Structure 1
Amino acid sequence: MTNMNELRTWLEGRLPSLLAEHQVPGAAVAVSVRGEVVDAAAGILSKNTGVEATVDSLFQVGSITKLWTATLIMQLVDEGTLDLDVPVRRYLPEFRLMDESAAASITTRQLLSHTAGFEGDIFTDTGQGDDAIAKLVDLFADVPQLFAPGEMFSYNNAGYVVLGRIVEVLRGKSYDECMREYLFTPLQLTHAANGPYEAILYRTAVGHILNEDGGEPEPSPIWALSRSTAPVGSMLNMRPRDLLKFAQMHMDAGRGPAGQQILSAKSAAAMLEPQVKLPDLGWMGESWGLGFSLFDYDGGTVVGHDGGTIGQTAFLRICPEKDVSIALFCNGGNPLAVFTEIAKHALGEFAGITLPQLPVPAGSPPPVDASRYVGEYSSRVASVVVSQDAEGRIWLERTPMGVYAEVGDRPEKIELVAMDGDTLLPAQKQFGMHLPHAFVGDDGQGRALFVHTGRADRRVSP
């Protein structure tokens, strides 16, 4: 590939076969190079209808929404309405957690960087009204603290619910209204929707999940999660080209397509400054900024975010130094393999970026003394038990709870093998990769306090 026309030809020719190889029903992709965009689509939006995916089809972007929420927050910083480093209670006096001292000290910066420390997977449906987010925040009074605010990283969906509520309170408008007024409109988006009532007006994808016998992905019985988690990623839908308008604004120091300043250059730069270093988690990056995941790749810095909803997956990668970005949306199957091949081509050719190899177990992994790891770890969405058998093999049993059990996640038992230090790898792939499991912290008796896979699940028993 030497130019954008060749990239378009390659995408249109390769995408259909990639989807077939990896059981992805449908997908749409866009690549932007210095403001010039090419896009492609293939497959179908739903196996129930057979409607074909097009470049204008809407897919759920999932947790990429967090970048939009973070941008709404930084606009308030630009206006002098919000200070990232004062307690959240200055703006939300009603904010409560089980740990009163933590609730009184947590800052907006800690929410943005996933370092607030309270348990983060709270997805309670509080209805479809404009008060849905406020009602969910009111339920956080019984949410436990995993670690002291600012101590470490643990991906926190609930923290972004709080951020969405801050936006609502300081704007005096619903989150959806703020999204449309302060981002959709100035970005001149034409194919974007806040939730099902808007998405139904477009050609819109349906998620697909594996059935119990592990066969071909089938349409999910649930299209979206609750409105209460809109700032987290439950509602936002768009085509890839429109997501890249948002990415381009960030690469253009906060300027929109009409040249107007949507976000200040200072805030756009601040969002990409590392706030916390991550454990060795493979796919999630080396550090986290104010909303963005930060990757230190061979060839330059890459920033972005991924999104996963019920049977849909989205990827966004931005190369700020090279003015290159890529967005891929898929509605089932093994989307990681599709993204990896497309990103290697596009980012390699136009940004000089070499994607690292994903971690894989050694051919003959060395034996591991698992005494530091054995025990039970828990969160509101899963119980995790780590054990070591008489042969020295290490096993992790995960039992879904809460919303994950409700949407059909099944219990699983996986073998863990040595990777590096206190990080172990599943012997078999999950979701297209061997996801590192980092055992971090100390319970005072020489045992790991957390098993960390992006979220830190805390030890609850020996």
Structure 2
Amino acid sequence: MNIFPKTCLSIALAALSSAPNPSQAADPALLRTAVDRIITPLMAQYQVPGMAVAVTVDGQTMFFNYGLASKEAKAPVSEHTLFELGSVSKTFTATLASHAIDQGKLSLDDHPGKYMPQLKGSAVDRASVLHLGTYTAGGFPLQFPDEVAANDDAQMLTYFRNWKPDAAPGTQRRYSNPSLGLFGHVTALALHTDFRAAMEQQLFPALGLRHSYIQVPDSAMSDYAWGYDRNDHPVRVRPDVFAAETYGVKSTSADMIRFVQANIAPERLAEPMRRAVEGTHIGYFDIGEMRQGLGWEQYRAPVTLERLLAGNSETMINDANPATALTPPQAAPRGTLFNKTGSTRGFGAYVAFVPEQKIGIVMLANKSFPIPARVKAGYEILQQLR
């Protein structure tokens, strides 16, 4: 089943998915011309200094690099340039949680008070780990209030103990860093380790990611791009509460397309990482035409640009939306498109893939330009895979 109805892409993807020779899956020169045509005016319109785009088609990887990683140093972007992933980091947090579940150290039916006794009896403890990981705990805001300082566990605990829900767990989805941050924090507690250590020493190596970090080491700082804010000032991410769990990963397009390929074909991973990745492909709640899993957001075939834009809209990001629980949870149907956006003050990212069609795209930029523009560009590039 092709996900893009009645377009040339539906024919192209069918041909690509059955192509016996990956070298014939996509003509690099033609694809370069098409990607240039899409990305160059996009960067000019939003004054994006640099961008790394990576595409995978039937196992073949292609990189398209544009502009500067640092305007001050005139450093060019490459597939080895480190970008801040923003909320795309949540897909890694979800994979770590899925790994903990597979090991029997964490359950989605658990409540946070099991790992944080200070929260027992509070409103948040009526929500499950699943609710935290799918933004359905009952109405956490997008961000922590300013008075909750970074690296202050006492203030963090006070915030969660005093939190008052707007709805019963499992009835609405409200995208939230506090919700997903607590999900990641509980995961690390269940694993009896520090979150950063679990990511950098366990998860990233198991996925074959050699240049992905929570904290960029001195040896890799020369590869770390500068981001640029709305005033075009060079910036990098701030260490706010649960930053590591929610938007703290820095990675390259080379590592990210490898992560996409692992999600397209998890059977190529060694156990137990295969099961960890597959666990993030389960759907738990329907929110309009978008299906919420752990980390990834899912779109069932046929996928249109309008549906992708609706699922990545300001309304989905900022507002509470009714959620319908899937009982039992469901594996992603054939033809499902998975995606995730991410932003920090100076960076913007978009990742999308369709396992059945063996295609995926990574877009990393050192400026946070509008999400609809990213989604549209990613969609248009996928249409060129023929």
- Give the equivalent residue in structure 2 for 1:347: 382
> Which amino acid is the alignment partner of residue 277 of structure 1?
D
- Give the equivalent residue in structure 1 for 2:103: 79
- Give the equivalent residue in structure 1 for 2:114: 90
| SS at 2:106 equivalent | coil
Deviations 1:278-325 (A, max 9, x none): 25xxxxx62211221112353632112110111211101011211211
- Give the equivalent residue in structure 2 for 1:160: 180
- Give the equivalent residue in structure 2 for 1:277: 286
Shift of 1:157: 0.9
- Give the equivalent residue in structure 1 for 2:299: 295
Between the aligned partners of 1:204 and 1:133, the Cα distance in structure 2 is: 29
- Give the equivalent residue in structure 2 for 1:219: 233
Deviations 1:315-364 (A, max 9, x none): 010112112111101122635466345423432244x9xxxxxxxxxxxx
CA contact (8 A) 1:133 1:165 kept: no
Deviations 1:92-139 (A, max 9, x none): 22236xxx5532321111111110114232164434xxxx67863454
Are 1:328 and 2:351 an aligned pair?
no
Which of 2, 23, 26 is the matching residue for 1:3?
26
CA contact (8 A) 1:254 1:262 kept: no
> Which amino acid is the alignment partner of residue 130 of structure 2?
R
Gap change, CA 1:150 and 1:337, over 3 Å in 2: closer
Shift of 1:90: 1.9
In the comparison of the two structures, how many residue pairs are matched? 328
Between the aligned partners of 2:34 and 2:219, the Cα distance in structure 1 is: 26
> Which amino acid is the alignment partner of residue 263 of structure 1?
M
Superposed counterparts of 1:232-381, under 5 Å: 232-253=245-266, 255-256=268-269, 260-265=270-275, 268-279=277-288, 286-298=290-302, 300-332=335-367, 334=369, 336=371, 339-340=374-375, 342-350=377-385
Shift of 1:225: 2.1
| SS at 2:169 equivalent | coil
Gap change, CA 1:199 and 1:42, over 3 Å in 2: farther
Between the aligned partners of 1:101 and 1:338, the Cα distance in structure 2 is: 41
> Which amino acid is the alignment partner of residue 32 of structure 1?
T
| SS at 2:213 equivalent | strand
Shift of 1:17: 4.1
Give 5+ residue unaligned stretches, structure 1: 212-217, 280-284, 353-462
Which of 196, 199, 204 is the matching residue for 1:176?
196
> Which amino acid is the alignment partner of residue 73 of structure 2?
T
CA contact (8 A) 2:144 2:241 kept: no
Deviations 1:161-205 (A, max 9, x none): 212222221222211110012221122223222135558524222
> Which amino acid is the alignment partner of residue 254 of structure 2?
R
CA contact (8 A) 1:133 1:229 kept: no
> Which amino acid is the alignment partner of residue 286 of structure 1?
M
> Which amino acid is the alignment partner of residue 278 of structure 1?
I
Which of 97, 106, 118 is the matching residue for 2:127?
106
Between the aligned partners of 2:130 and 2:124, the Cα distance in structure 1 is: 14
- Give the equivalent residue in structure 2 for 1:364: none
Please say which of residues 308-317 and 156-165 is displaced more in the overlay. 156-165
Between the aligned partners of 1:139 and 1:333, the Cα distance in structure 2 is: 29
Gap change, CA 1:337 and 1:63, over 3 Å in 2: closer
Between the aligned partners of 1:136 and 1:199, the Cα distance in structure 2 is: 32
Please say which of residues 27-36 and 200-209 is displaced more in the overlay. 200-209
Gap change, CA 1:254 and 1:62, over 3 Å in 2: farther
Q: State the structure with more CA Rg.
A: 1
Between the aligned partners of 2:30 and 2:254, the Cα distance in structure 1 is: 15
CA contact (8 A) 2:280 2:296 kept: yes
CA contact (8 A) 1:58 1:199 kept: no
Q: TM-score scaled by structure 1?
A: 0.64
Gap change, CA 1:11 and 1:92, over 3 Å in 2: farther
Gap change, CA 1:273 and 1:187, over 3 Å in 2: closer
Question: Structure 1 or 2: larger helix share?
Answer: 2
CA contact (8 A) 1:22 1:337 kept: no
Between the aligned partners of 1:156 and 1:199, the Cα distance in structure 2 is: 33
- Give the equivalent residue in structure 2 for 1:150: 170
Between the aligned partners of 1:163 and 1:344, the Cα distance in structure 2 is: 30
Between the aligned partners of 1:44 and 1:88, the Cα distance in structure 2 is: 43
Are 1:39 and 2:38 an aligned pair?
no
Between the aligned partners of 2:219 and 2:374, the Cα distance in structure 1 is: 24
Between the aligned partners of 1:110 and 1:198, the Cα distance in structure 2 is: 37
Q: TM-score scaled by structure 2?
A: 0.76
Shift of 1:244: 2.0
| SS at 1:109 equivalent | helix
Give 5+ residue unaligned stretches, structure 2: 1-11, 13-24, 304-334
> Which amino acid is the alignment partner of residue 113 of structure 1?
T
Shift of 1:65: 0.8
Between the aligned partners of 2:140 and 2:382, the Cα distance in structure 1 is: 35
CA contact (8 A) 2:285 2:291 kept: yes
Gap change, CA 1:36 and 1:178, over 3 Å in 2: same
